[in-house]
Structures are given as structure tokens and as C-alpha cells.
Amino acid sequence: MSAVEGMDTAHVDAHDHHHESQNFWQKYVFSEDHKIIAKQYLITGIIWAVIGISMSVIFRIQLGMPDSNLSWLKPILGGWISESGKLDPNFYLALVTMHGTIMVFFVLTAGLSGTFSNFLIPLQIGARDMASGFMNMLSYWFFFLASIIMFASLFLQAGPAAGGWVIYPPLSALPQAHPGSGMGMTLWLAAMAFFIVSQLLGGINYITSIINLRTRGMSFDRLPLTIWSFLITAVLGLISFPVLLSSVLLLIMDRHFGTSFYLSDIYINGEALPNVGGSPILFQHLFWFLGHPEVYIVLLPGLGITSEIIATNSRKPIFGYRAMIASMLGIAFLAFIVWAHHMFVTGMNPFLGSVFMFLTLIIAVPSAVKGFNYITTLWKGNIVFTPGMLFSIGLVSLFVSGGLTGIILGNSALDIQLHDTYFVVAHFHLVMGAASAFGLFAGVYHWFPKMFGRMMNPTLGQIHFWFTFIGIYLIFIPMHYVGIAGFPRRYYQFTSYDFTHKFMDMNMFISVAAIFSFLAQFIFLWNFFYSIFKGKRAPLNPWRSNTLEWTTPIEPVHGNWPGEIPAVYRWSYDYSKPGAKEDFIPQNIPYSQTLESNFPHENELIATEKLIEAQNFNDQFNAH
């Protein structure tokens, strides 16, 4: 994959650009600038995160301190708190459901991938903006519309959707089965349909931009791993989200138009329903066909961000750049053929179970490669503990610790006992929830200077990291114990059974740890919002990093670079190169200027520099 060869066939963008002055609405609200859209995604994601995590605190209080009086929540929750200060069991299920939906889709998909794909793709590939600024704007506003609808459902008299974030029918299809399956579910489905539209608009844009708008010399083997991860994530989303959309549409048909895709042989509320021939399991297949890739849609951007930050702050090239790409591709491919491991005990053919067990456990191999490559990148580094770096190291630890228990759950024989217990909850919160959230934090701390032109307070960031990191382990390690003891998830309380009549103090401990971690997030919130306005002014390249975004002005202008877009001559991981003056060589420095540190094969590349410089076709401002 030579840098020059790939570019000859690239598409020539004949887009006329006018530097019109924009009014406030065009500039900050209905903006087509990827940097503003990224910030919109980030702020919306943060607001959702506060709502979603607050919900988990409420149900953790219910689970850990079942006797506590929740009357103090009456001003917010009103009728959902009974006269005696008890949480309504239906609302408990609504909280669990909305926590899952919000965190998975609105925070870790839109907030993480939406923010950093938008912000970093044009800046790191050297483009003026996304391929279609208008579609990009639409993508955010569809997400905003989905957010408004989902938020509105929280205020319904009968409560929001409450069938679990996986909304398995028939429970979700039959309003008579559950108050949460009425209007709340209708709004949930509508919001998700718009959310999927938003994801598709965004994803198409990410893929197109990465393929077509790379700057001169930016071949695929010089792309930072962040961009690789966003590309793979977008492809995953583009293939799997339409399947969720169709499953949602079929569910809407079953709910409102009398079809029987998911319904059969049902007798409820003294009435036998006429529907026959449908299959509730069909929904689960369709849902998990998205649902499993979704795990990687959430996680891969975090891994990409981590790769970049660990390399930068270890002052070392990422170990095994090609292996990292290969393992991401491997994970992405396998992500599509493992979905039924969520369904081992649904009664599906046991042979199918064996196949999916086998495929699932293969994922451990590329994941292990990634883990070891991160560790080797740390080895013999010169590590700078910026908050972004701390969160990246934390991510690797959480990813490995949480991933290992996945090997237990992917084993269908062991899943029989552990399925739908707290072991599962602990597993996916570590590997997908907390690890991805750490990716989000790492990204925010690392690219905050580029986003807002100011620095976040590093000391507060470090404190935030240690509180959160320790807090996460204090919550989820004991939660594995509760799961091994067989506690089923989504239980309002554990008083009905003898086998759950233990671990009272353990559950209380988990809840205390959860509240502690929740409170620690306010350090971040304060640091974030304070630094936007009052933070120390950022230098041009605060982390002494190689990627292109640090060659833009401190606050990138519209079009990112005031003059020409820089050309790229090398990969983004030339840290601590032997012989080099500095311990980093940015991507836009040609080999002809670094003769002292070039390897023999790099000296040969000097000849191609003129060719690279002669190209100018991807600049949307300078079409020819």
C-alpha cells in the first residue's frame, strides 16, 4: 500500500467554497462544522450520562439499602415513591431499562463515537471538514430529536419503557402485560428509529470522509489507529443498525397493526389473543444481530483512542500497528457471527449453541493480542501520566479483567447457571460500560485543548481517575461474587427467595461504592465546564504528539488549517526514534528533514516526497 499509488485513483472533489459570514444560528446551532457538531454530541452525551448514571444510583439504593426511606426523592419522582417512601416496582424496572438504553445508545454510542469520530476524522486525516457537512448536521439533529422523544417518555404518567433495554416481546409488544409497554414503549421505539437514522447518516459520512478525504500522502498504513477504529466502528454500525431498525419496525407493526411477527399462542388478562405463528425468538435474533456488534461499536472507538494516547504518552510507537488493525478487523468480523451467545438458554438448537460458543471464544484471541500489544507499548516507555494516559491505562486493565469473564459466559455449558445473573451484569459493565467510558474520559482529557483551546486541570483529572478507577473495581468485583451466588438480575428486591437471602452487606457495599464513584464524576464535570471558560490557555501541541490535529491553530478555524492542508510523509508513531533531535516527529515532517533518524527504507521514500507535494485534490477549499 504505497502512499502515492493509492491517491491516483482518489476522487477529486469539485466543491466550490465561499467564505460567507455566518450568523449565530448557523455557527453554533445548525452548524455544519464538524468541530461544533462534535461538541454538540459531547455536551448532549454528558447530559445523558448524568441522567443515566443518576438512575443507576437510585436503583442501587433500592438494591443495597432496601429498607431506606426514599421520600427525599419525591420532589423528582413524585408518585413513583409510595407514601411509605418505597420505590415502585414498575418504576424500578423502568429505571433499569432506561439506564441501559441511555448508557449504551445515547452516551457510549452517540456521546463517544459521535464526538470523537466527528472531531478527529477531518483533523487527523487532514481534511477541511466531513464529506457532507449537511448530512453531518442532520445526523446530530436526528440524535437530538431521538433524545427529546426519549427524554419526554420519562415524564409519562405510566412511566417510560420498562421491559429491559433489550425490550424482548411479547412483554414489550403487549400494553396489557406491563405499564411500561404502553406509551413509554411507543416513544422508546420512535426515539430509537430516529437514533438509528442519525447513526446511519453519521456512519456513511465517517466512512466516506476517511476513504475520500485523506490528505496528500495519508495512505491507509499511515492512518492513526483512532481513525482505523472509527472506520471499523462506522462499518459495523452501517451493517448492523438497519437490522435493529427492521426489528423495531416489525415490533411497531405487532403493537399497532395487528401483525404476528413476534407473537404466538398468548393468553393474557383473561383473553386468548388471535396471533399465531410468530416467534419471540425471532426478535432476539434480530436484536442481537445489532446488539452484539453494538458492544464493539461502543468499545472500538475507546480502544482506538487508547492506542493513540498510550503511544503518545509512553513516548513510544504503538507496538504492532498492523497487528492492532488486524485484530480490530478480526474482532469486527467475529462480532457479526456471535450474536446467539446471548441466547444459549432460549431453547434454540443445542448444535447452534455449540457453533456460537466456538465462534465466541475465538474473539478472545484478537482481544488478547490487543491487550498484550498495549502492555508492550508501555514496556520501556517514558510514561507521562496525563489524565488521558491514566484513563487509557485504566481502560486496558478494565478491558482485560472484564473480557476474561466473557470467556466463562461464552461457554454455553457454564452460561446455563450464570445467564441473567449479576455475573453477566458485572462482566459487561467492566468490559463494555466502564472500559468505553474510560475511553470517553481519556479522549476528552486528551483532546480538550484542541476542542476548547484551554487545558483541563491535570491534578483534578488525576484525582478523578483514581477515584473512578478504584470505584469501578469496588463495584464490579463484588458484583461477580453476587452473580456466582446465583442472584438474578432485574430483581426489584431479593427478599422472595431463600437462595438470595444472603450477601445483604455485599449488596450494600456495591451500592456505597456506586454512590462514591458517582460523586467522583462531579470532579470531572466541574473541571470540564470550568476549564471551557477559565482553563489555562493551551499551547499548540501540549502532549507533543505526532498527529495532524496538532498542526492546526490552537483553536482550529473553519476549514481547520488557515493555509494549505499539510502533506503527510510518515506514520503517526515516530516517537523516540533513535537519532532524532526530539522524542517525536510529527506526520507532516518529510524524511528529507530527518536524515539523522531515518531507517534505510525510509531514505528511499524521500524520492516520493515531491510526488506527494504535487497532489492537491482533496482540499475542498482548493478545487481544481
Partner 1 sequence: MYYIIALVALVFVVLTGVVIARLQDVIKSVKKEEAPDAVPAGNKLNGAMFIIVLVLGGIAIAWSYLHAREFFLPEASSIHGRRTDDLFWFSMGVLTIPFILVNFLIFFFAWKYQYKKNHRASFYPDNHKLELIWTIIPAIVMALLVFTGWKAWSDITSEAPRDAEVIEITGKQFNWIVRYGGVNDNKLGNYNYKLIDAQNEVGIDLSDENSFDDFQNPTEMHIPVNRPVLLKIRARDVIHSVFIPHMRVKMDAVPGMPTKFWFVADKTTAQMQSELNDPNFKYEIACTEICGQGHFSMKINLVVDDEESYKKWCSEQATFLQTYPEYLAKVPDNLKAKAMKGLPETTAAPADSTASASL
Contacts (CB under 8 A) with partner 1, residues 494-533: 494, 496-499, 502-503, 505-506, 508-509, 512-513, 516
Q: Which stretch binds partner 1 (CB under 8 A): 52-60, 193-201, 264-272, 298-306?
A: 264-272
354 binds partner 1 (CB under 8 A): yes
202 binds partner 1 (CB under 8 A): no
Q: Cα–chain-centroid distance for residue 462?
A: 22
Phi, then psi, of 536 in degrees rounded to 5: -65, 140
Shortest Å distance, C-beta 5 to partner 1: 23
Tell me the CA distances in angstroms from 132 to 33, 37, 210, 422, one per residue in order.
10, 12, 12, 44
Shortest Å distance, C-beta 7 to partner 1: 24
287 binds partner 1 (CB under 8 A): no
Tell me the CA distances in angstroms from 570 to 121, 220, 222, 273, 306, one per residue in order.
18, 11, 6, 66, 20
391 binds partner 1 (CB under 8 A): no
219 binds partner 1 (CB under 8 A): no
322 binds partner 1 (CB under 8 A): yes
Q: Which stretch binds partner 1 (CB under 8 A): 6-14, 201-209, 245-253, 355-363?
A: 355-363
C-alpha cell at 15: 466543491
DSSP string, 488-552: BSS-S-S-S-STTSS-HHHHHHHHHHHHHHHHHHHHHHHHHHHHHHHSEEP-SSTT---SGGGGS
27 binds partner 1 (CB under 8 A): no
Residue whose C-alpha is closest to residue 487's, from 470, 507, 472, 471: 507
77 binds partner 1 (CB under 8 A): no
Tell me the CA distances in angstroms from 322 to 234, 370, 389, one per residue in order.
20, 11, 22
401 binds partner 1 (CB under 8 A): yes
Shortest Å distance, C-beta 430 to partner 1: 11
Identified binder of partner 1 from the candidate list 187, 393, 426, 612, rule CB under 8 A = 393
Kindly report the number of other CB atoms within 10 A of residue 459's CB atom. Answer: 10
Size of the chain in residues: 624
439 binds partner 1 (CB under 8 A): no
Shortest Å distance, C-beta 251 to partner 1: 14
In angstroms, rounded to a whole number, what is the distance separating the alpha carbons of residues 90 and 401?
33
* Site mask for partner 1 (CB under 8 A), range 103-142, x = bound: ----------------------------------------
353 binds partner 1 (CB under 8 A): yes
404 binds partner 1 (CB under 8 A): yes
Shortest Å distance, C-beta 131 to partner 1: 31
Residue whose C-alpha is closest to residue 170's, from 290, 281, 14, 91: 281
User: Inter-axis angle of helices 34-64 and 89-101, to 10 degrees?
Assistant: 150
Kindly report the number of other CB atoms within 10 A of residue 53's CB atom. Answer: 18
368 binds partner 1 (CB under 8 A): yes
2 binds partner 1 (CB under 8 A): no
Shortest Å distance, C-beta 26 to partner 1: 36
C-alpha cell at 473: 473495581
Site for partner 1 in 569-598 (CB under 8 A): 573, 575-578, 583
Identified binder of partner 1 from the candidate list 12, 29, 268, 607, rule CB under 8 A = 268
